[in-house]
Structure 1
């Protein structure tokens, strides 16, 4: 068992023990294609929660500052994380994200770029739309619905892959593509928030 699989199993056990976890739509994640897994961001535990209950390893962008500490610098790459510089166009991170998707792996991304303080969905960053438009990866909107309160309901919903064919033909901007993804995430939250 590699470190990612061990961490995944540990997170799954922790989350199942301390929260009333519900996983919805796991079958919406293609099994052998590149997948851009896009999710809202409400808590520090979102990345492990998003990936802990699915069968495919997930690669994540993480803020570059985390890679400046000796322990995390060694640990994070083994957990499929790679650095991104926030507030700038990080070409190296974009190239790495494209490679992950073109190699038919799963890239988990939080389009808002940072956690929402209120839990309300925020505007997404254009980089997410760039990945959706520049690759043939399936774009799977997802939503974490909390809050993270001990022994309370906590769910992650994986939506059906979005159809990007018309948007690509229309040559929409990365920002417009991101807005399309964010609307799909918001729809999942509205649909599942009170179920």
Structure 2
């Protein structure tokens, strides 16, 4: 935890002035309990930006190749990340994510699974819905509004936790729940001046 706080302060001292990061909606972020934090993905810097703006430590999934790199692997692990194979179908990674939520931690996800090539919001993968349905965690949508250009404002907006009670009672599929999560991220983008392309509902 001490290493995380140190790294967070160092990264924040660089990225916050460089991108003039503005944060809103922190009052919506649960102070305790498991949190599934779902964010759009527009740049490689998204994980550290979420990490330095979130009021709580965020655990991210990271591609397993990173953990095989000397020094970098241990550093990423010490920052709270855990490995996942491509496609988010790695059972061990799913178990690790569920444990983080059960233990009251914050699991950060980019439901799209990969960076958007055009900056617009894409279709989310079922992994986000899986975690939402299999846990009692608060589900918090988050929108990162670029561009990532030096000295141009970058906004991070945290939304209110989603009420998924009815969907759970109706035994909705993971895909359906992910679609709801993506709609909430889309709403944040629209309300804050960013017009995303219509979500792919196929």
TM-score tier, shorter chain, comes to over 0.9
Which whole-Å CA distance do the structure 1 matches of 2:120 and 2:65 have between them? 25
Which whole-Å CA distance do the structure 1 matches of 2:166 and 2:11 have between them? 38
1:71 paired residue number = 71
Structure 1 segments unaligned to the other structure (5+ residues): none
2:200 paired residue number = none
Compute the TM-score of the two structures, normalised by the length of structure 2.
0.93
SS at match of 1:83: strand
CA-to-aligned-CA distance 1:108-133 (integer Å, 9 cap, x gap): 11001111110011111101100001
Instruction: Give the deviation of 1:88 after TM superposition.
Output: 5.6
2:156 paired residue number = 156
SS at match of 1:149: coil
Structure 2 segments unaligned to the other structure (5+ residues): 195-202
Match status 1:29 vs 2:29: yes
Instruction: Give the deviation of 1:55 after TM superposition.
Output: 2.4
SS at match of 1:70: coil
2:178 paired residue number = 178
CA-to-aligned-CA distance 1:1-30 (integer Å, 9 cap, x gap): 721111111121112221221101011110
Give RMSD over aligned pairs. Answer: 1.1
SS at match of 1:61: strand
CA-to-aligned-CA distance 1:52-80 (integer Å, 9 cap, x gap): 02321110001112112112211111000
Match status 1:139 vs 2:134: no
Which whole-Å CA distance do the structure 1 matches of 2:67 and 2:16 have between them? 29
Which whole-Å CA distance do the structure 1 matches of 2:183 and 2:152 have between them? 27
Which whole-Å CA distance do the structure 2 matches of 1:107 and 1:193 have between them? 27
Which whole-Å CA distance do the structure 2 matches of 1:51 and 1:103 have between them? 19
Which whole-Å CA distance do the structure 1 matches of 2:142 and 2:87 have between them? 24
2:168 paired residue number = 168
Which whole-Å CA distance do the structure 2 matches of 1:92 and 1:66 have between them? 16
Which whole-Å CA distance do the structure 2 matches of 1:75 and 1:65 have between them? 13
Match status 1:57 vs 2:54: no
1:45 paired residue number = 45
- In the TM superposition, structure 1's runs of 4+ consecutive aligned residues that sit over 6 Å from their partners are none
Count of residue pairs brought into register by the alignment: 194
1:85 paired residue number = 85
Judged with a 3 Å threshold, the aligned counterparts in structure 2 of structure 1 residues 172 and 152 are, in CA distance, closer, same or farther, namely same
Given that 2:67 and 2:77 are in contact with CA atoms closer than 8 Å, whether structure 1 keeps it comes out as: no
Which whole-Å CA distance do the structure 2 matches of 1:6 and 1:41 have between them? 25
